[in-house]
Amino acid sequence: MEKICKKFLIRGIVQGVGFRPFIKRKADELSVRGSVRNTKKGVEVIFFSEPGNIDALIVRIKKESPPGARIDSIIQLPGGKVSGKQFFIEKSSSEDNANPQIPPDLAYCRECEEDFNEKGNKRFKYPFTSCLSCGPRFSVLNAFPYDRKNLAYGEFSICPSCGIEYGDPGNRRFHAQTITCPSCGPSYRLGNFKGENAFKKAAEHIKAGNIIAVKGIGGFHLVGDPKNPQAIKKLRSLKSRGTKPLALMASSIDKASQYAFIDAAAESILLSPARPIVLLRKNPSKSFLNSVSPDNDRVGIMLPYSFAHKLLFGSSHLDLLVYTSLNPASAPTVTADEKAKEHFKGPVLTHGLSILARCDDSVIKKTGDGAVFLRRSRGYVPSTFDLRSGKNILASGASENCSFCIVKEGRAYPSQYLGDIEDKENLEAYHSELKRFMKLFSFTPDILVCDKHPGYLTTGLFEKMAAKEKVPLLKIQHHYAHLASCAYENKVTGKAIGIAWDGSGYGEDGNMWGGEFMVYSHQGFQRIGHLKYIELPGGDAASSDISRIAASYALRARLDMKKLKRVPLSYDLTEKISKMILNGMNCPLTSSVGRLIDAVAFLTGLKDWNTFSGEAAIALESAVKKDFLKDPYSIRIIQKDGKYIIDPDIMIAEIADSMERKRDISEISSRFIFTLSDIAVNMIKVMREEYGLSEVLLSGGVFLNAYIPALIRERLECADLKVHTHRQLSPSDNGISAGQAYLASRRI
3-state secondary structure of 615: helix
Signed CA dihedral, 153, 154, 160, 164: sign only: positive
Could you give the residue range(s) of every CATH 3.30.70.100 domain in the chain?
Answer: 4-93
pLDDT of residue 748: 73
pLDDT of residue 152: 95
Amino acid at 464: K
d(CA 336, CA 326): 11
d(CA 301, CA 276): 8
DSSP 299-340: EEEE---SHHHHHHHHHHT-SEEEEEE-SPTTSPPP-SHHHH
**pTM of the full structure:** 0.92
pLDDT for residue 330 is more than 60: yes
CB count in 10 Å sphere of residue 290 = 13
3-state secondary structure of 563: helix
Q: Residue 499 contacts by C-beta under 8 Å, 6 or more apart in sequence?
A: 516, 517, 518, 680, 683, 684, 696, 697, 698, 699, 700
d(CA 226, CA 321): 6
In the chain, the percentage of residues whose pLDDT exceeds 70 is 97
d(CA 214, CA 347): 9
pLDDT for residue 534 is more than 90: yes
Structural class in CATH, domain 384-476: alpha beta
pLDDT of residue 576: 78
Judging by beta carbons within 10 Å of its beta carbon (0-12, 13-18, 19+), is residue 37 exposed, middle or buried? middle
Fold that domain 102-186 belongs to in CATH: DHBP synthase (3.90.870)
The pLDDT-based confidence of 571 (bands split at 50, 70, 90) is low
Could you give the residue range(s) of every CATH 3.90.870.10 domain in the chain?
Answer: 188-373
Write down the mean pLDDT value for the chain: 92
Could you give the residue range(s) of every CATH 3.30.420.360 domain in the chain?
Answer: 384-476
pLDDT of residue 146: 79
Instruction: Assess contact for 629 and 668: CB atoms under 8 A.
Output: no
Instruction: Name beta bridge partners: 407.
Output: 393, 412
pLDDT digit string (tens) for 111-156?
999 999 999 999 999 999 999 889 999 999 988 777 899 999 999 9
Q: Residue 74 contacts by C-beta under 8 Å, 6 or more apart in sequence?
A: 8, 9, 10, 11, 58, 61, 62
496-731: CATH homologous superfamily?
A: ATPase, nucleotide binding domain (3.30.420.40)
Whether CATH 3.40.190.10 fits 188-373: no
Signed CA dihedral, 734, 738, 743, 744: sign only: positive
d(CA 180, CA 353): 12
Helix boundaries (H) for 187-263? 195-207, 229-239, 253-259
Strands (E), 320-466: 320-325, 348-351, 363-367, 370-375, 385-386, 393-395, 405-408, 411-414, 447-451
pLDDT for residue 24 is more than 70: yes
pLDDT for residue 668 is more than 90: yes
d(CA 114, CA 729): 34
Instruction: Assess contact for 199 and 312: CB atoms under 8 A.
Output: yes
Fold that domain 4-93 belongs to in CATH: Alpha-Beta Plaits (3.30.70)
